[in-house]
Amino acid sequence: MKYTQKREKNTLTVTFKVTQEEWAGFDTRAYEQNRHKYSVPGFRKGHVPKNVLESRYGRGLFLEDALYMCAQEYYNLFLDKNKEVTPVSRPTIDDKSVKFENGVTFAVVVAVRPEITLGAYKGLTIEKTVPKKVKAADVDAELAQVRERNARFIEVTDRPVKEGDQLNIDYCGKVDGVAFEGGTAEKQTLTIGSHTFIPGFEEQLVGFNVGETKDITVTFPDDYHAEDLQGKTAVFTVTINGITVKELPELDDEFAKDVSEFSTLKEYKEDIKRILTERNVKEAEREDENKLIETVVTNTPIDIPEAMIDEQIDQYVDDFEYQLKSSGLNIESYFKYTGQTMEQLRGEYRDRAEKAVHMRLVFEEIVKAENITPSEEAVEAKIKEYAEQSKTPYEQFKEQLHPSDRYYFENQVVTELLLKLLKEQNTFAVKEKPAKKKGE
């Protein structure tokens, strides 16, 4: 096998020179693989001689398959001999390079992993984030959420519907007298004022009494997700099954005893403030970590092959489809309801994908430069951590793992070691405020 290679940025072109004898072997293999497809009078199907088929269908009958076989085999041999080459796309044959002169010459083109020159990732100074101070309003907001979670609903029977009520309703919607898909439901919960239904729907229920059935008329918005209903007028027959109102618990010591381990509201508030303070500190630490990563990645510009970005986008789209399926939907329905196309969805993911690939490449290069490797003990500890999180016995959790799953845990450990190194080798400093001038 003779070949030459030429790299231009992230594109590698390998030109192969195949002798007549070598090519004859691939040509014969292509004939053997395809001869069963042809029938010629006087011969059994699959036993027509090669020269007969070529005279009948043309000399190039098996050329394409032979060229593909040859390219595949020689390209794989090339990769075996050149371990430093890392393809990031499927190889293609450059049609213009194919020549049949004293054998066969052809070129295989493939995108390869970009060459990376690491920028500064040590000795940097990152502006430290000052954690937000917890204010009384923050504690009050947290208390309000706890009150909401502990609210109770009281049934109302002696008055009509008013703003803020939670209703239990049945409804059936029709357009031009015909019921439409998704327009009928029973025992549906609706809070008046939530604006979760079609504009005008909730407002018209105010004044209804429990047990009443009435018709209300609404018009679907022009941008409604179901195109066949956009701008249409519908009549909904609505029955009020029940009315309930939310009652929030009083903020007092009894409330604190019910929802916490503390005896007084004052103690409970102090604990909330402590928890919020710790949360703000962790958020500031995460922000510092993100700023450090962004700086390190930005310091190493990379010309990323489109194939790597496309592959990452493919992963995002696959993840999105999986989420849809877990909700009982599919990508086709999603596009129908939103009016979006696959091309638009992929476009939305592009910037995120490019940043993700950029970060991964920089991290991989630093790991290589620093010779970061995970110890067996660290990997086992990580597996144990995940087992505990899933509340599964350690040995049972390990038995359920596929051999390839270990790479995931190894990667987790490597990432943690890398981030630890970056934090240790760089400085976080609070930006000093400029001194005030005299008289200011």
Residue 131 clears pLDDT 90, i.e. is over it: yes
CATH classification of 152-247 is 3.10.50.40, yes or no? Answer: yes
- Span 273-284, mean pLDDT? 97
Instruction: Report the pLDDT value the prediction gives residue 359, as an integer from 0 to 100.
Output: 97
Model confidence band, residue 99 (pLDDT cutoffs 50, 70, 90): very high
Q: Quote the CA–CA distance of 422 and 274 in Å, as a whole number.
A: 29
Residue 239 has pLDDT above 90, yes or no: yes
For 90, phi then psi, to 5°, come to -75, 140
Cα dist from 53 to 29, 44, 56, 94, 104, whole Å: 15, 13, 5, 27, 22
Please determine, for residue 355, whether its predicted confidence score (pLDDT) is greater than 90: yes
Question: In the prediction, which pLDDT does 37 show?
Answer: 84
Give how far Cα 57 sits from Cα of 39, 61, 200, 232, Å: 11, 6, 72, 61
The pLDDT of residue 439 is: 60
**What confidence category does residue 437 fall into, taking pLDDT thresholds of 50, 70 and 90?**
low
Kindly report whether the global pTM for this prediction surpasses the value 0.95: no
pLDDT score, position 182: 86
Q: To the nearest whole number, what is the mean pLDDT of the chain?
A: 92
Rounded Cα distance between 209 and 169, Å, is 11
Range with the poorest average pLDDT among 263-267, 315-319, 398-402 = 398-402
Q: Note the pLDDT tens digit of each residue in 174-226.
A: 999 999 988 999 999 999 998 888 899 999 999 999 999 999 999 999 888 88
The Cβ of residue 349 has, within 10 Å, a number of other Cβ atoms equal to 19
Q: What are phi and psi of 288, to 5 degrees?
A: -60, -45
Q: What's the confidence (pLDDT) of residue 51?
A: 81
Buried b (16+ CB within 10 A) or exposed e, 229-254: beeeebebebbbebbbeeeeeebeee
Give the Cα separation of 361 and 370 in Å (integer).
Answer: 14
Predicted confidence at residue 75, as pLDDT, reads 96
- What does the pLDDT read at residue 438? 63
Identical topology for domains 2-111 and 266-427: no
Q: How confident is the model at residue 54 (pLDDT cuts 50, 70, 90)?
A: confident
* Mean pLDDT of the region 324-331: 89
Model confidence pLDDT, tens digit, residues 153-180: 899 999 999 999 999 999 999 999 999 9
CB atoms within 10 A of CB 259: 15
The whole-number pLDDT of residue 435 equals: 61
Find out if CATH 1.10.645.10 is the number for domain 266-427: no
* pLDDT classification of 357: cutoffs 50, 70, 90: very high
Q: Find the mean pLDDT for residues 227-241.
A: 91
**Could you tell me the residue ranges of all domains in the chain?**
2-111, 152-247, 266-427
Check residue 348 and give its pLDDT. Answer: 96
2-111 has which fold?
A: Alpha-Beta Plaits (3.30.70)
Query: How does 80-112 read in b/e, with b if 16+ C-beta sit within 10 Å?
Result: eeeeeeeebbebebeeeeeeeeebbebbbebbb
Give residue 333's pLDDT: 87
Lowest mean pLDDT among 67-71, 428-432, 435-439: 435-439
